[in-house]
Structure 1
Amino acid sequence: MCGILGILGKAPVAPLLLDGLKRLEYRGYDSAGMASLVNGRIERRRAEGKLSNLARLLEKEPLPGTVGIGHTRWATHGRPTERNAHPHSSDRVSVVHNGIIENFRELKTELEAAGQVFETETDTEAVVHLIDHHLAQQMSPQEAVGAALQRLEGAFALAIVFAGRHDLMIGARRGSPLAVGFGDGEMYLGSDALGLAPLTDRICYLEEGDWAVLTEDGARIFDNQNAAVERPVTQTALSGALIGKGQYRHFMQKEIFEQPAVVGDTLQVFVNPQSRAVTLPDLPIDFAKVPRLTVAACGTAYYAGMVAKYWFEQIARLPVELDIASEFRYREAPLPDGGAALFISQSGETIDTLAALRYARSQDQTILSVVNQPESVIARESDAVLPTLAGPEIGVASTKAFTTQLTVLACLTIAAAKARGAIDAAREAELSAALTEVPARCAELLNHDEAIQAIAHDLAEARDVLYLGRGAMFPMALEGALKLKEISYIHAEGYAAGEMKHGPIALIDETVPVIVMAPSGPLFDKTVGNLSEVSARGGQVILITDPRGAERAGEHAAHVIEVPEVDPLVAPLLYAIPAQLLAYHTAVVKGTDVDQPRNLAKSVTVE
């Protein structure tokens, strides 16, 4: 949520800020703006809606200057209007902010009594006036920010510039990520390395509670006690080239079609195709001795964890406790001695997942993470990181990040099973071989995109849609429903197929499509029984199954989507693709904003 960019540079800053903010669009936003120093004065340009609106405003009203801050806002306090868009400014100071200031009402009351005049509905404006108040007391900018930070409660990343100070920018973080970029006589601030990639590849990630004073000579960093500290500067591998859609209509479509490649890239890290064995990096745990694995994540990553729970328990015989990260710490669950905790996140910034990780750390658990951003906060606070190689995922609805998460989790399951003696070398070879076939099977599925596109025209007419699955297909049903509701705004629910008789069957009539995910196998006949019940009540069944399943149950379905028959371990990776394509094409038919659906953000960095 919210993208921050700051440039203390030599070149005209507005085009650079606009380009950087485009890279941060994936985080989600509903307004945008920037401020620069023009002959010592703070000038702003802000616009409601997409960055294209801000770009048009800049064409009509150019913003000069070489020092500036930019922001894409995801509204929390106050409506998504131009007035509430960042940056927020006084005559002395301008601020952009990602996060929530929890005590802003208390601060606002205090500052209004001291003569400060508020103009917006946002919590961020309290930061501006707090710093401005200290500046009016003849504090230096550094002193004013240091004093203000001691008063702020909540989560925030801040970038701050000061009138008359073309040589100074200050950044701070607590709870929300912020990176410092180093250039040649220039300095930068950004929410992540992707936003800074065209500007520099030398990055310093501020740690919790840090704040940084930037000048053209470098950065001085202080901790939350205002003591000077040193933080490592690393070289990021992110490309400076702007991520493009290529020949695809949307980023989501492009990312769906990238899955054969990125799953293959991820497998190359973990699977030796010659020995048919999984090779993990050195992990600080012995799976043979782990009494229980605790898994937590949010959204689509949570469903990846749910699939992994089936795998770990069935294949590795390892007990798993699975939680939605946003609820995990509130249970105050006792965690076992010698236990391990696994956290899954595309961005590595999700605030609820990070809080769950810190709770597990307080319970002396060994921390593993599966992330797509190896330089992220969650990665840095883990004992070991298992990276997905999805590359930048721009579409808000996760696709390739999900399947690469499943790929890593499948590899981890095989390694855990081998360590616990639950499988022998022959079974390891079978499962590893099944994994190595996934990229080719994914490509086969994507070749039948036109058939799924045709089904989507019928689906787009629905008001409600149900998804059913058993075993590991139950979390896939949940994920399929999430994808559809995220981008098409059709109400959709996923259910364990065996729960149909316990309530959901009451919803079935001829207007309700029911999408059944059912590979042939031990659970198939039970699922077909549920399918028959739906058909008997007029429900329009869309059956996703393999050729054997289609032959046995296709007569009960209005539409059949065939998936290659594969080992049950890897079936979820393949069944994800038709679910993604159904959601994508349905959203296109309905004309929604596929890549940036309303009210959603790619990276949820506030609670």
Structure 2
Amino acid sequence: MCGIVGISAQRDVVQNLISGLKALEYRGYDSAGIAVLTGHGVERLRAKGKVRDLEALQAVSPLSGTCGIAHTRWATHGAPSTDNAHPHVSGAVSVVHNGIIENHAALRAELQALGYEFTSQTDTEVVAHLIEHAQRQGKPLRQAVQETVARLHGAYSLAVLSAREPGTLVGARLGSPLVVGLGEGEQYLASDIHALLPLTRRFLYLDDGDVVELTREAVQVFDAAGQPAQRAVKESHFAADAVERGEYRHYMLKEIHEQPQAVADTLEGRIAGGHVLTQMLGVDAEALLARTDSVQIVACGTSYHAGLVAGYWIESFAGVPCKVEIASEYRYRNPVVRAGTLFLGISQSGETADTLAALKMAKGRDYVARMAVCNVPESSIVRESELVLMTRAGPEIGVASTKAFTTQLVALALFALELARAKGLDAARYADGVRQLEQLPGLIAQTLKLDGQIRALAENFAAKQHALFLGRGTHWPVAMEGALKLKEISYIHAEAYAAGELKHGPLALVDKDMPVIAVAPNDHLIDKLKSNLEEVRARGGELYAFVDETVAHGLDADHVLTLPACGEFAAPVVFTLPLQLLAYHVAVLRGTDVDQPRNLAKSVTVE
């Protein structure tokens, strides 16, 4: 959630620290701060609000230094405020931290008994005092950090500096991402490579338990036992301008319109000669698919909705049972694992705390293998999995996920088709599924041309406080995703229901002030859906129907948006697009912060 940047260099690092924080604004935050080593020791600036507020402070009271750390905070302990903003300081030590220290209360009481005073409500301040206390006992900074993290329960990524060791940065991670950037005469730390892309393309990805010591000339990694460790150097292929808005007003709108290319990239090199290349999953994929007799999908939020769609596909095409579960629920129960079950975790960032914890829990259970569908190479979830299917969405900056969702659907469709083929799917049905996927980039581009019509529909929603989304089959999760997008960025209360459930309660909500949005592809449930929508019309509800062009004339609604005809693999992707655009245009009309909606963060690395 929060963002970390650290730099040790021969030049002033303050502007690069601030630029790094700007690149991480998409993660969601409520305060920002920097700390640098100067001739007077550790000096810092902190501001409640945005990075621009921090910049304003820097303009009035400028700091400069060649070694510094910076942070954007998303509140977990203590309300958003300047006092609770990072970096935190104790004596000569300054710390920034992502994650949650679960035993902070006991540590706070111990430190207070030793005479340390606390100036914030955060869990992080105990880390600063513990490291300072170790240094007062004569411990070098790295050793002080190593001894401190051994006492922490929970999740953390840390960047630490000390006036006792000018030019040295120490980082540590457990359950929260931290990368090292390699430069010439300067070295970097960050929670996300996008903070460092203008400075370097060479990165080390730290493992859980690692502690790293940086000076401007050298980087040394130590494992959880304190032993020197080697971590492979990876070169990033992301362009430095990939996180720029360009001609678009918001990142979200840019990312919606990037979907034809993102889907094409996700398909590239994975289909040839009318079939999916099984090797996309890994060298042992063929044998593992043959052994797979059921699938357990675990995910959160938007990724969970993608998993629900995949569950329909896997059972319909492959004929094997598929259970889809929210990761935060799965990890806290004792699931029964039937023989031959494949574990499948889905995460845009690859660092989602609950999904990562579920994946680690699955390691000790009798699954055929653990598979990840993810957008970030070298992320924790990718590295923990035996099978990996990358989505190739590219950087997604807007908090409300768009292209990550549709590329997840495409990756999951590829997987479902290959599993179905391994289980004897009819050749004609398999070929039709492949053909639908190949046509998707064009169908998406065609659908995005409806933007103007959707913008006009959005004007009817701007003053509403509630909305109801309906779908059936694979389009119930699509309706759920549409409702989530609307509530995330416009702050309109929105709920999604399986349309057949209307008569079991939700119909009581329908009146002229409750817009009802129906997702209506031309599938085997279309006639059932039409009957459900008649229930809405009979009760005076204002009905918005997003329909396949082949059924547009047979559906009675107040507002009809006609989408291109598409099959059962393509339709969930195509019908998602107008729901994304509707949420976007409603949010713009209501004047909300589209890319950074209140209380939310992009990468959810805490429970």
TM (norm. structure 2) is: 0.97
Look up the match of 1:600.
Answer: 600
Pair 1:299-2:276 in alignment: no
**Residues 1:54 and 1:242: Cα distance change in structure 2 (over 3 Å):** farther
Quick one: which of 387, 393, 399 aligns to 2:390?
Answer: 387
Contact between 1:300 and 1:479, CA under 8 Å: does it hold in 2?
yes
Whole-Å separation in 2 of the counterparts to 1:337 and 1:547: 44
Pair 1:372-2:375 in alignment: yes
Look up the match of 2:590.
Answer: 590
AA aligned to 1:278 is V
Look up the match of 2:451.
Answer: 449
Contact between 1:77 and 1:122, CA under 8 Å: does it hold in 2?
yes
Contact between 2:155 and 2:176, CA under 8 Å: does it hold in 1?
yes
Whole-Å separation in 2 of the counterparts to 1:242 and 1:559: 37
AA aligned to 1:390 is A
* RMSD (CA atoms): 1.3
Look up the match of 1:458.
Answer: 460
Secondary structure in 2 aligned to 1:342? strand
Look up the match of 1:324.
Answer: 326
Secondary structure in 1 aligned to 2:198? coil
AA aligned to 2:277 is T
Deviation at 1:138, TM superposition (A): 2.5
Contact between 1:316 and 1:423, CA under 8 Å: does it hold in 2?
no
Look up the match of 2:422.
Answer: 419
Contact between 2:156 and 2:176, CA under 8 Å: does it hold in 1?
yes
Contact between 2:69 and 2:160, CA under 8 Å: does it hold in 1?
yes
Quick one: which of 275, 278, 302 aligns to 1:277?
Answer: 275
**Counterparts of residues 6-405 of structure 1 (less than 5 Å):** 6-39=6-39, 41-241=41-241, 243-272=243-272, 275-280=273-278, 281=280, 282-285=282-285, 286-365=288-367, 366-405=369-408
AA aligned to 1:443 is A
Whole-Å separation in 1 of the counterparts to 2:292 and 2:242: 43
Whole-Å separation in 1 of the counterparts to 2:580 and 2:238: 27
Can you list the C-alpha shifts for 1:459-487, whole angstroms capped at 9, x where unaligned? 12211100010000110111110000000
Contact between 2:543 and 2:559, CA under 8 Å: does it hold in 1?
yes
Contact between 1:40 and 1:164, CA under 8 Å: does it hold in 2?
no
Secondary structure in 2 aligned to 1:511? coil
AA aligned to 1:438 is L
AA aligned to 1:47 is A
Deviation at 1:263, TM superposition (A): 0.7
Whole-Å separation in 1 of the counterparts to 2:431 and 2:323: 28
Deviation at 1:360, TM superposition (A): 1.4
Contact between 1:374 and 1:385, CA under 8 Å: does it hold in 2?
no
AA aligned to 1:94 is S
Deviation at 1:52, TM superposition (A): 1.1
Can you list the C-alpha shifts for 1:125-166, whole angstroms capped at 9, x where unaligned? 111111111222222222322221121111100000001422
Secondary structure in 2 aligned to 1:165? coil
Quick one: which of 544, 547, 551 aligns to 1:545?
Answer: 547
TM (norm. structure 1) is: 0.97
Whole-Å separation in 2 of the counterparts to 1:249 and 1:97: 32
**Counterparts of residues 567-582 of structure 1 (less than 5 Å):** 567-582=567-582
Whole-Å separation in 1 of the counterparts to 2:270 and 2:601: 30
AA aligned to 2:351 is E
Whole-Å separation in 1 of the counterparts to 2:120 and 2:436: 57
Whole-Å separation in 1 of the counterparts to 2:323 and 2:408: 18
Look up the match of 1:471.
Answer: 473
Whole-Å separation in 2 of the counterparts to 1:371 and 1:480: 21
AA aligned to 2:409 is L
Can you list the C-alpha shifts for 1:24-79, whole angstroms capped at 9, x where unaligned? 11211111111101115111011111111111111111110011001010000011
Can you list the C-alpha shifts for 1:288-311, whole angstroms capped at 9, x where unaligned? 321111111100000000000000
Whole-Å separation in 2 of the counterparts to 1:262 and 1:134: 49
Can you list the C-alpha shifts for 1:545-576, whole angstroms capped at 9, x where unaligned? 112222001xx311111111111121000000
Secondary structure in 1 aligned to 2:58? helix
Contact between 2:32 and 2:46, CA under 8 Å: does it hold in 1?
yes
AA aligned to 2:390 is P
Whole-Å separation in 2 of the counterparts to 1:383 and 1:336: 19
Look up the match of 1:533.
Answer: 535
Contact between 1:23 and 1:242, CA under 8 Å: does it hold in 2?
no
Moved more, 559-568 or 263-272: 263-272
Percent identity over the alignment is 50
AA aligned to 1:433 is R
Deviation at 1:362, TM superposition (A): 1.1
Whole-Å separation in 2 of the counterparts to 1:49 and 1:249: 21
Unaligned runs of 5+ in 1: none
Whole-Å separation in 2 of the counterparts to 1:227 and 1:64: 34
Deviation at 1:269, TM superposition (A): 2.8
Whole-Å separation in 1 of the counterparts to 2:144 and 2:331: 35
Moved more, 208-217 or 113-122: 208-217
Whole-Å separation in 2 of the counterparts to 1:293 and 1:146: 40
Deviation at 1:216, TM superposition (A): 2.7
Deviation at 1:339, TM superposition (A): 2.2
AA aligned to 1:429 is A
**Residues 1:589 and 1:448: Cα distance change in structure 2 (over 3 Å):** same
Can you list the C-alpha shifts for 1:69-108, whole angstroms capped at 9, x where unaligned? 0101000001111111100012310000000111111111
Contact between 1:206 and 1:231, CA under 8 Å: does it hold in 2?
yes
Deviation at 1:283, TM superposition (A): 4.8
AA aligned to 2:322 is V
Deviation at 1:199, TM superposition (A): 1.8
Pair 1:564-2:567 in alignment: no
Quick one: which of 409, 418, 430 aligns to 1:428?
Answer: 430
Whole-Å separation in 2 of the counterparts to 1:336 and 1:360: 13
Secondary structure in 1 aligned to 2:265? helix
**Residues 1:381 and 1:92: Cα distance change in structure 2 (over 3 Å):** same
AA aligned to 2:296 is T
Deviation at 1:11, TM superposition (A): 1.9
AA aligned to 2:102 is E
Contact between 1:193 and 1:238, CA under 8 Å: does it hold in 2?
no
Contact between 1:438 and 1:570, CA under 8 Å: does it hold in 2?
yes
Unaligned runs of 5+ in 2: none
Contact between 1:276 and 1:428, CA under 8 Å: does it hold in 2?
no
Deviation at 1:407, TM superposition (A): 0.7
Contact between 1:37 and 1:164, CA under 8 Å: does it hold in 2?
no
AA aligned to 2:318 is A
